[in-house]
Amino acid sequence: MSNTLIINDAIMRMLSAAARHFLKTAAKEAAARGQELYAIGGIVRDGLMSRPANDLDLSTDRDAIDLAKKLAGLTAGKLTRHPRFGTATITCDDFHADIATLRRETYEKPGALPVVAPGSLKDDLNRRDFTVNAMACRFAPEPAGELVDPCHGQADIAARLIRVLHSGSFRDDPTRVWRALRYEQRLGFRLEDATEKWLRRDAPRLADISGERLRYEIECVCREDRPEDIFRRAAALGVLDTLPGLNIDDETRLRFETARTLYLPKKPPAAVYLSLLTFNMNIEALDGFIVRLRLPRKAALVLRQTNGLMLKLPGLKEDAKPSAVTTLLQDTDVNALRVALAAAGSRSVKRQIGDYLDKYRHVRPLLNGDDLLAMGIAPGPALRETLRRLRSARLDGLSRTKQDEMALVAGYTSKTP
Ligand code: CTP
């Protein structure tokens, strides 16, 4: 009597209707070609745990790109090929599917990308990061649905453990350090004892990976529901020491929560969380962080502006006029302002930033450029300055109507020599 577990329906149930249709089409096409097709990795884990899954990871025993090309045609998906890796991605409405040829991997140098060669299903599962991610489910040929679980991932799901497959796993691929912490918090699991020991031992090897790879991992952390829990765990395990200057305490956690409320129903961009971790670094340390993560210009700007703004905020008097608040804040990116709102210690400063974001930044004078030209104001700097003064007057309640503004303009011009 075999104790084969059939899990294709459990996987299917966790997919969107479009993804389900895609997987059925893929299984049919693979079977027609006499190819094997497996759902593999996270999708199997999520199916076993009854967690919704968006992305499909599929593997076949040969010609993944050719199969993907056919499937893109059958499902009106957009095909992207990665010939170097023998893989392809198909993007459809609400999901994407990665299709790969089964392979084995060897690491010639710790931290470098692996050398890839065709392999069996077992080789492919054995190259993976954690037991819970090293399972597959056959979708072709029939009979479909069998769970392939040579590393006992199902038992680790039951025991709620994140376990690497061998002692050298983090050394081979130090990005797995961040992945382990991510899954641990996301799934509510804990690191298995030996895994934790090896993670602590090999975390310093994160220093060897490229900025792009490190940034990708940190961005993945920031996309989780509660990145603060992952950063806190990283601090406890010594992983945060690989990003010098970062620390996280209870205040930081509250700030993360506040920041999230400012972006609902979406999630804050990664740069917002990173700014909350770096706003009180000195400028050299901040530059070092930005360079280490090779942050793109836009994200780096948010970090730098937040850092600069937090130094300026103590200069904001409690009774500052709205125009003064606006002058201080108006050239700052909205994301940096939201970080400052979440991070500021003073209630009055929080209120002032909130007022700027909700009200002041939308205030414009009632007269526009054409009105001012018609009133004889010269185009160029004089016009811009008049608009600025009118905006300030409106912000501070000194003008309410067009007539008020016209009177102010008359006053400005009569004083101009
Ligand atoms: N994988 C790995 N080592 C890595 C990255 C990925 O072994 N450094 C394997 C894992 O088996 C993982 C699969 O590749 O399940 C797909 O990777 P990814 O899409 O990053 O992970 P998912 O498990 O699909 O997780 P998520 O739910 O975060 O998308």
For the chain, the maximum distance between any two Cα atoms, rounded to a whole number of angstroms, is 102
Strands 136-140 and 37-40 turn out to be antiparallel
Q: Separation of 176 CA from ligand 1 center, angstroms?
A: 9
CB of 57 closer than 6 A to ligand 1?
Answer: yes
Using CA positions, which residue lies closest to atom 18 of ligand 1? 42
Best mutation site among 55, 116, 129 for ligand 1 pocket (most ligand atoms within 8 Å of CB) = 129
Q: How far is the CA of 17 from the centre of ligand 1 (A)?
A: 23
Residue-wise pLDDT for 129-181, tens only, equals 999 999 999 999 998 999 999 999 999 999 999 999 999 999 999 999 999 99
pTM greater than the 0.85 cutoff: yes
- How far is residue 113's CA from residue 260's CA, in Å, rounded to a whole number? 35
Q: 40: CA distance to ligand 1 center in Å?
A: 9
Q: Of all atoms in ligand 1, which is nearest to the CA of residue 46?
A: 27
Q: Which residues neighbour 14 within 8 Å (Cβ) at sequence distance 6 or greater? A: 43, 46, 47, 50, 51, 52, 53
Best of 48, 102, 133 for a ligand 1 pocket test (most atoms within 8 Å of beta carbon): 133
Q: Is 58 left (phi over 0), alpha (psi -120 to 50) or beta?
A: beta
How do residues 214-244 score in pLDDT, each as one tens digit? 999 999 999 999 999 999 999 999 999 999 8
Residue whose CA is at the smallest distance from ligand 1 atom 4: 129
Distances (CA, A) of 296 to 207, 263, 270, 307: 20, 21, 12, 17
Residue 374: predicted pLDDT? 93
Q: Which residues of the chain have pLDDT under 50?
A: 1, 417
Q: How does pLDDT run across 2-24, given as a tens digit for each residue?
A: 567 889 999 999 999 999 999 99
C-alpha 63 – ligand 1 centre gap (Å)? 21
Q: Is the CB of 124 under 6 A from ligand 1?
A: no
Per DSSP, 144 falls in state P
Q: How far is the CA of 247 from the centre of ligand 1 (A)?
A: 27
